[in-house]
Amino acid sequence: MSRSLVITTEKRLFRQQTLTHGGLTRSPWFLGLAGLTVLILFDPLHLISDIRYKQYPLVMVMGLIGLSVLASGGRVARPAWPGVLLAILLVIAIPGLVVNKLEGEASSLFSAISLLLIPLSVYLLPPTLDTF
Amino acid sequence: MNELKWLGWIGTCFVAGAFFQIACENAGIGYARVHERAFLAPLIFLIPLLRGRKRWTTIGCGSALLLLIVDPRTTMLIVYVMSLGMWAVMFRLNSITQKLVIGGMILTGLLVSAAGPTVLKAIDDRFKSAYGMEGNSQFRSGLIQTGVDAFLASPVYGDMFRGGTSFPTGFYMETAPGRFDQEIMAPLHNDYLEFLTKGGLIGGGLMVGGIGGSAWIAWRNVKRLKSLGMTDAAHWQGAVCICICALMFTMLVNPVLNNPECAVPAYWMVAQALIGQRYVRRLNIARCLPQPVYQQEQCV
């Protein structure tokens, strides 16, 4: 095994261990979503539904997915069939939603479709999280 | 498996957060919007099962019932009854009774579907009249008719997810004293119909298949994990399965998925079912690896 391959593997292992230390329910992906859920439950002003902050959950989810991709080294696990259906739904809906945004449509299914990234991000999580 | 133990507290947070929101509304700060997230309530079951604290079952279920009295919503009533039934089917009944109860639930579902919105309307009106409130079935039925008309205009592809999701309700807002001239626009209060309207049968089918399939996968995970003796993980997947089924009911009568504050917890539940399947798949591989060649066929 060449030295560069060893270093690359070690780097990947270090990233996996740093970002996924403690298993699934202590990973940033899981804790981030749990934290967001708890915040939502205790928010009487419904700030997340407010048009000014409506994109924040999506930005946060994208951040969590970014961390997962970093940890897994960009590898995608084999999805289950419901995951495939949701992925197809996301792909076929994107053009219409982009047109809606460009036309400045006040309300569309943007949140319902874009947040599908949450269940789909499961397949970007590193395999170390498959064990407890 | 210790790390699953804190998950039940999300269910407690649902009940505590609901009381907090109601208190804030009474104090004039914001407003309570609890019933659309009622699908998180089944997580309360995880506290006694994963932490072995039976007292918390009484406290959790008692406060959930108190919530139903303080904020009487038909959605929550049906979600509670459905959750208790499903929990009994999954973990408390033997296989013969289980099949009978599942058969009964399917029959009830078919009867309700055959009767259309009449049964749900009757439950809604009767439940709310018990609290001296008026049902909002008229508002919903007007919106459903609007949605059905929009769906029938293009049933296969819908609008390809173009256009807005606010529809005229037939109710008018008072812009000046005695002057009602601005029609109120609202989402359809039925996510299935909303997806059918915007994405046609293709979009609606993919959404139902994806979310319903996740519930099916969680149910299959429960059976597989139970057979492997991994009770904690089976309880986790059981709670997730009930949450997704409750979500599918909530979506029938409320706008859930197009609202980030409901969509985030909803999709998080779906994600947990899918990650449970990854976990079971890995367990299957791990079980197959060390076994002799003649046993491998059983594991595939």
Domain range annotation of chain B: 136-300
pLDDT given at position B300: 47
Cβ–Cβ of B275/A129 closer than 8 Å?
yes
Cβ–Cβ of B213/A43 closer than 8 Å?
no
Q: How many domains does chain A have?
A: 1
Cβ–Cβ of B233/A132 closer than 8 Å?
yes
Range with lowest mean pLDDT among A40-49, B111-120, B189-198, B277-286: B111-120
Contacts of B276 (CB under 8 A, 6+ apart): B217, B218, B221, B233, B236, B237, B240
Q: Would you call A69 an interface residue with chain B, using a CB distance cutoff of 8 Å?
A: no
- CA-CA-CA-CA torsion for B244, B249, B251, B253, nearest 10 degrees? -160
From A25, A37, A86, residue closest to B264, measured CB to CB = A37
State pLDDT tens for residues A66-103.
888 887 777 888 899 999 999 999 999 999 988 888 88
| A4: pLDDT strictly greater than 50 | yes
| B202: pLDDT strictly greater than 90 | yes
Q: Would you call B50 an interface residue with chain A, using a CB distance cutoff of 8 Å?
A: no
Alpha carbons within 13 angstroms on the beta-carbon side of residue A72 total: 22
Q: What are phi and psi of B227, to 5 degrees?
A: -65, -25
Domain that holds residue A41: 3-130
H or E element at residue A84: helix A81-103
Closest by CA to B189, choosing from B133, B246, B136, B127, is B136
Closest by CA to B272, choosing from B242, B237, B235, is B237
Cβ–Cβ of B271/A95 closer than 8 Å?
no
- The alpha carbon of residue B103 is apart from the nearest alpha carbon of chain A, in Å, by 25
Collapse the DSSP code of A43 into the 3-class scheme (helix H, G, I; strand E, B; otherwise coil) and give the result. Answer: coil
CB-CB neighbours of B299 under 10 Å: 12
| B242: pLDDT strictly greater than 70 | yes
Residues from chain B contacting residue A110 (CB–CB below 8 Å):
258
- CA-CA-CA-CA torsion for A40, A44, A47, A49, nearest 10 degrees? 70
Cβ–Cβ of A81/B261 closer than 8 Å?
no
pLDDT given at position B132: 63
Collapse the DSSP code of A53 into the 3-class scheme (helix H, G, I; strand E, B; otherwise coil) and give the result. Answer: coil
Torsion sign, CA atoms A77, A80, A81, A83: negative
Q: Provide ipTM, 2 decimals.
A: 0.85
- The alpha carbon of residue A117 is apart from the nearest alpha carbon of chain B, in Å, by 9
